[in-house]
A and B are shown apart, each in its own frame.
Chain A
């Protein structure tokens, strides 16, 4: 039953994936402006531009271009960036860790604060904790990410500059701080190129992970310090959403008969709340957390812009304005595929947690 459901769900994702490829391809082509002149300058002659089009296959019919594009992606080749003059995959490996670290820490932060707050305010319904949480949660979801980020930077980087609470306003680590990759530290023999190297490079650019495994605590501390403000800015909306959702689904569960029965049986309140109620209120929570990741990726564009981080969001935004097809296509596809995969995981875990879903 479960396996059938998973197969059915994966199959419905295929046309969506094809649609994503088509949309990104079309979007990248219809962005007005000539990539040749955007890259080589306004003064590029027709001859130069013809050669440029030839080199990048831009003179072929659109349908052919799309076929070539699909074939290349199937081979894991995302083409080259016009602007940076390097394979897009390399750029992705370079930029993805920043966004990954940022969104994961924002999500973790929003969960470790949001879930307990939601549980407490449901248990202490209508108390000051509850009212406070709801006021805060409503304000939280209404805040523009970019405003919150700038205000945090103002408070923590300027007002508190001579106190221990000072936090850096931009960058991932202090400039000049040594961050040797773990595979270099351990003296691993790595190939010149290929998937294995890409994976190692990706992991080693996750500063916190790299710092922890190599015991470079200075790096970990520094990276964490740089991460706090952007993570708080980015995590506030999901945090508020999670707190609200936990509260309302806990309230619904707490009002049900079996909870009263459990209490009547003589189980302690805390046991009932955590074992009987919380587990059953997890369902809607999974959905909210999954959907929050989408908001996180969108918010990453703004957060990365404000805190001077060259992550996926900011790179994509810059590529769109500079008409760098290669980056636009690859980055959008990666983000969208990631998003689809995430929704898939959410749906499957939903079916796992609630057997009724599978029967639909």
Chain B
């Protein structure tokens, strides 16, 4: 072993590597050192798998009414053969819903919607929020004042109430609900991007680009924004969790996804008066929402810790 190699091995044992690694590699490694982040990724992985394979693993068609097809009653409690449900009865592990459909199949299909809801609203909010925040931070002056005051006004309303109001204006429905939630979450992204842009704007490498004759577009999109990415990723992951919760709340109130769409919030909302007689119809969709939101929260927290340079050589 040469001297250099032995030194490398020694440093390696202390967790310090001499090989150059990118920020993403470091992040990835740190992410895998956190139990909570791993749990989040596992849950999320399972959910993605369910979403992709729903049509094969669901035992029934989520829209199929089982009257006359199987001897089942409306809002029948779950029947699981392993837990002592008679073998001659058809198995419905999460019971039958108010329209005599298999709840388990509906729940599986709901995974798709939930993930799509989370990703689409947050992407929408990130794109608009980034543009507004970048303009605001880069140009400053009255552009900044106008944009940020509008954001302040949006933030002055509790987000769910504002979303309810926007949906009422646009008309109830899933797409409008998503739009409303997207609009409501723009300010937080705009703020994050603005503050990163302001920090980076005055740094030497940006001045260098400017001195070399780079135009505003180049400076903003090639130099500044890539450096504002980390907080945006963290905010975005946590934002997906909030978006899913808010979308479920809107659907619960009857303003989002409309029946018979197998959306968790709407499934729960349409059976909420049956909670005392058929609790399984409320319990399972809520549990599904919670697990999905939990996975994004855990992942977001993990990413925040992993991307934080102050915690460079810690694990935990």
Contact = CB atoms under 8 A, between A and B. Distances in A.
Interface in A1-53: 15-16, 19-20, 23, 27, 30-32
A32 B153 CA distance: 23
B290 A143 contact: yes
B152 A16 contact: yes
Given A15-B149, A27-B165, A138-B297, A154 B158 contact: no
Interface residues of A, number: 48
Contact of A20 (B156, B268, B316): B156
Contacts of A302: 160, 249, 252-253
A27 B152 CA distance: 17
A158 B283 CA distance: 15
A142 B297 contact: yes
B297 A150 contact: no
B275 interface: yes
A350 interface: no
A20 B253 contact: no
| Residue in A31, A144, A316, A332 whose Cβ sees the most chain B Cβ within 10 Å | A144
Contacts of A32: 169, 171
A294 interface: yes
A31 B160 contact: no
Nearest to A320: B168
A71 interface: no
Contacts of A139: 290, 294
A171 interface: no
B159 A298 contact: yes
A316 B162 CA distance: 11
A144 B245 contact: yes
A321 interface: yes
A147 B294 contact: no
B156 A138 contact: no
A320 B160 contact: no
Contacts of B293: 141-144
B125 interface: no
A16 B153 contact: yes
Interface string A136-160: 0011011111111011011001100
Contact of B160 (A20, A148, A299, A306): A299
Given A16-B156, A27-B169, A31-B169, A301 B282 contact: no
Interface string A328-360: 100010011001100100000000000000000
A150 B164 contact: no
Contacts of B269: 146
Contacts of A141: 241, 293, 297
Contact of A335 (B161, B249, B275, B316): B161
Interface string B274-292: 0110010011011101110
Contacts of A336: 156-157
B168 to A, nearest CB: 5
B298 to A, nearest CB: 6
Contact of A154 (B156, B171, B279, B297): B279
Contacts of B7: none
Contacts of A145: 249
Nearest to B171: A32
B150 interface: yes
Given A298-B160, A335-B158, A142 B241 contact: yes
Contacts of B222: none
A142 B286 contact: no
Interface in A272-307: 294-295, 297-299, 301-302, 305-306
B279 to A, nearest CB: 5
B210 interface: no
A134 interface: yes
Which DSSP category, helix, strand, loop or mixed, fits chain B's interface? helix
A320 B272 contact: no
Interface in B217-233: none
B308 to A, nearest CB: 11
Contacts of A317: 164, 253
A301 B168 contact: no
A23 B272 CA distance: 33
Contact of A320 (B36, B165, B276, B289): B165
A242 to B, nearest CB: 16
Contacts of B159: 294, 298
Contact of A147 (B150, B156, B164, B289): B289
Contacts of B253: 301-302, 305, 317
B284 to A, nearest CB: 10
Contacts of A316: 161
B294 A142 contact: yes
Contact of B168 (A23, A158, A321): A321
Contacts of B275: 150-151, 153-154
Given A16-B153, A146-B272, A301 B160 contact: yes
A142 B296 CA distance: 9
B129 to A, nearest CB: 18
A311 to B, nearest CB: 13
A147 B161 contact: no
Contact of A23 (B153, B276, B282, B298): B153
Interface of A: 15-16, 19-20, 23, 27, 30-32, 126, 134, 138-139, 141-148, 150-151, 153-154, 157-158, 294-295, 297-299, 301-302, 305-306, 313, 316-317, 320-321, 328, 332, 335-336, 339-340, 343
16 contacts: A32-B171, A139-B290, A139-B294, A142-B245, A144-B293, A146-B269, A150-B272, A151-B282, A153-B276, A158-B276, A294-B159, A302-B249, A302-B252, A339-B156, A339-B157, A339-B158
Given A16-B153, A19-B149, A343-B156, 11 more contacts: A19-B152, A32-B169, A142-B290, A147-B268, A158-B276, A294-B158, A299-B160, A302-B252, A306-B272, A335-B157, A335-B158
Interface of B: 36, 149-150, 152-153, 156-161, 164-166, 168-169, 171, 241, 245, 248-249, 252-253, 265, 268-269, 272, 275-276, 279, 282-283, 285-287, 289-291, 293-294, 297-298, 301, 316
